Chains A and B, each alone.
Chain A
Amino acid sequence: MANAIEVRGLVKRYGDVVAVAGVDLTIAEGEVFALLGPNGAGKTTTVEILEGYRQRDAGSVSVLGFDPAEASRAYKERIGIVLQETAIEPELTVDEALDIYGSLYPRRRPTDEIVEIVGLGEKRRARVKTLSGGQKRRLELALGIVGDPDLVFLDEPTTGFDPSARRQAWTIIDNLRSLGKTILLTTHYMDEAQNLADRVAVIAGGRIIAEGTPETLGGRRDATIVRFRLADVAPDRLPLTPSRADGGVVEIESVDPTRDLHTLTDWALANGIELEDLEVRRPSLEDVYLRLTGEATS
């Protein structure tokens, strides 16, 4: 499969601040790729360079075979952009906005179809200013895909949504995937990445610090967490070294959970200690993310 996005050694500085310090990314056609990272990690700068909003200082970038730095019309005709800090004229109706923005593209999806995809069929004649936050965001999604793009950039598509609006947005994004679009999304929400993305990358300090599928990121598949509460017992008496022990909560990361659990429960029974709230689970994507970004910043 061909690659939609290829980035090598991308660098961007603002004055003395290095916002992006050598990012490599490869995203295949038809892939849904999530870029995760704390605020100020270089996420938005990276994406805005790919969109053609910013010029890079070093590195090579190829998106759909174009160099976005040239910001050519032919390039813009094949991408769709849904950003945080853009807006739609509040006095337009939903239909008008779709018609006006749709008219800019050579390949244009019919308004009827688009309002169906984003679930704004009831709101076609409503002015943008009367829409709720979630509806506005869905209209922005609609404007991002009205030109039938091959690649869609989604910058935190569900920030500020209530849970049901987020589910709806996920369904829309899933529909885009089934249309064969390549999607690059940024998000703070791990469940969003887990639900939507084929692959994820974590960016911190301007670098990609981990990359993989949501299931395998940061060795997630190979680790198990054993977690329990320990009352009145110092953690250093444990037969195993905890990865975390505070406020009476102990977590032990294990690559061999059967054996480790046996050791632990043996010890507890022999000493008459109760392991309260004992649970054994895989680290969530969020656990992995927090560990990775914590390591990167400390």
Chain B
Amino acid sequence: MRRPSTFRLVRIQTGYQWKLFWRNPVAAFFTILFPVMMFLIFTVIFGNERIDELGVTVAQFYAPALGMFAAVSATYTNLGISTAYQRDFGVLKRIRGTPLPPWIYMAGKILSAIAVAFIGVAIMLGLGVALYGLRLDPTTLPALVVSFVVGSAAFSALGLLVAAVAPSGNAASAITNATLLPLAFFSGVFIPPQAETPRWIEFIGDVFPLKHFNEAFFAPFDPRRNDLAFEWGHLAYLALWGLVGGYLAIRWFRWELPQGTGSSRRRSTRR
């Protein structure tokens, strides 16, 4: 009689969450295809012109920006929504009744989300290279990897924070979309930074983590740079958001709906 090893449990849980993600066509569409569509639409509308403020082409800007956006959807949006729905349906309560240590369940969810984020980024960058000759200096690759890992981890923590505070899966869906989409406009993701951007928009972008992820992720693609393109300031700020978000998520997380709300609703939907 031997307990399954931690490594084995993490591997199985990650694989299970990964499988579930790809079997949910809506999530897969919004995470992977939606940013790809945006990329194609932007490059078609704007042509692959040069953006004067940045000194790069449209594709050189949008491929990393929307790749990063896919990574945030895969972590923040997906973890927030799927975890809250799993609580609604009682999946989390079931897990709580098994010997699985709760942290391993969460580790599986986060690792799977980061793997999905990786796929989203790879597709976007691959498309940029194939269609528009996206360029990346190989010496900046470590900075790209570090930015990806720090950003995905931070947004995973924030996604779980949304799941912790949202009363239901529907609420989590509203919260993630209502925060991410406006922020993407304020953070220079959907619209490249302009010289005449109003101060208050700049300010909102500076406060929230998305812009910092975007800038750290774009730096390796910035042809004007001739260093290793690590944006330590942005990365540190991003990590701080992740740590605070993760701490609060752990403090506030609930594995069950408050008593009296869950069972009656589930009974009515089951029959």
Contact = CB atoms under 8 A, between A and B. Distances in A.
Contacts of B90: 83, 85-87
Interface in B241-271: 256, 259, 262-263, 266-267, 270-271
A106 B98 contact: no
Which of A51, A53, A88, A103 has most B Cβ within 10 Å? A103
B12 A77 contact: no
Nearest to B11: A103
A53 B100 contact: no
Interface string A43-79: 0000000011100000000000000000001101101
A133 B269 CA distance: 11
A291 interface: no
Interface stretch (B19-27, B126-134, B145-153, B209-217): B19-27
A81 B94 CA distance: 8
Contacts of A53: 93, 96-97, 256
A100 B91 contact: no
B199 interface: no
A51 B20 contact: no
Contact of A91 (B20, B93, B259): B20
A160 B270 CA distance: 10
A133 B91 contact: no
B94 A147 contact: no
Contacts of B91: 86-89
Given A76-B97, A87-B266, A133-B271, A106 B3 contact: yes
B8 interface: yes
A104 B4 contact: yes
A182 to B, nearest CB: 17
Interface in B180-206: none
A29 interface: no
Nearest to A97: B16
B224 interface: no
Contacts of B4: 103-106
Contact of A86 (B2, B19, B94): B94
B9 interface: yes
B9 A103 contact: yes
Interface in A115-134: 133
B42 interface: no
Given A87-B90, A147-B98, 18 more contacts: A53-B93, A53-B97, A81-B94, A81-B97, A85-B262, A85-B267, A86-B93, A87-B266, A88-B94, A91-B20, A91-B23, A96-B16, A100-B16, A103-B4, A103-B12, A105-B4, A107-B1, A143-B94
A128 B39 CA distance: 36
Interface of B: 1-4, 8-9, 12-13, 16, 19-20, 23-24, 86, 89-91, 93-94, 96-101, 256, 259, 262-263, 266-267, 270-271
Contacts of A92: 16, 19-20
A133 B266 CA distance: 13
Nearest to B86: A89
Which of A53, A79, A87 has most B Cβ within 10 Å? A87
Nearest to B15: A100
Sorted nearest first, the 9 A-B pairs with minimum C-beta distance are A86-B94, A86-B90, A91-B23, A76-B99, A81-B97, A85-B263, A87-B89, A87-B90, A77-B99
19 contacts: A53-B256, A74-B99, A76-B97, A81-B97, A83-B97, A85-B90, A86-B93, A86-B94, A87-B90, A89-B91, A91-B24, A100-B12, A100-B13, A103-B9, A104-B9, A105-B4, A105-B99, A133-B270, A160-B270
